[in-house]
């Protein structure tokens, strides 16, 4: 869904809200939310604008919990710090 609807921000937002019920059902646990964030990162890690837009949209729409997002960010920072050191 993330990759196929990446034509414009409007298309992307509408596709996320079109599948709102499926997203809420599938993102019920913290582990599934972390997997979703990893998927999002794997698809758009080179496009900061799209990544930031979807990341904020998922959090503001309560698809992803703040605690899951914070944990995911800290894990990514730990990995990047380990690679640098």
Render pLDDT for 47-82 as a digit per residue (tens, 0 to 9): 888 889 889 999 999 999 999 999 999 998 888 776
DSSP 45: T
Residue range of the domain that includes 64: 9-84
Does some domain include residue 3? Answer: no
Structural domains of the chain, count = 1
Does some domain include residue 2? Answer: no
For residues 18-51, one letter each, b for 16 or more C-beta atoms within 10 angstroms of the residue's C-beta and e for the rest, the string is eeeeebeeebeeeeebbebbeebeebbeeeeebb
Q: Residue 11 has what pLDDT?
A: 82
């Amino acid at each position: 869904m993330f990759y196929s609807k990446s034509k414009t921000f409007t298309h992307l937002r509408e596709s996320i809200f079109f599948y709102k019920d499926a997203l809420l059902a599938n993102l019920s646990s913290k582990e599934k939310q972390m997997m979703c964030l990893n998927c999002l990162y794997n698809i758009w890690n080179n496009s900061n604008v799209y990544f930031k837009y979807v990341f904020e949209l998922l959090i503001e729409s309560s698809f992803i919990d703040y605690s899951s997002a914070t944990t995911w960010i800290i894990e990514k920072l730990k990995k990047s710090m380990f690679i640098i050191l």
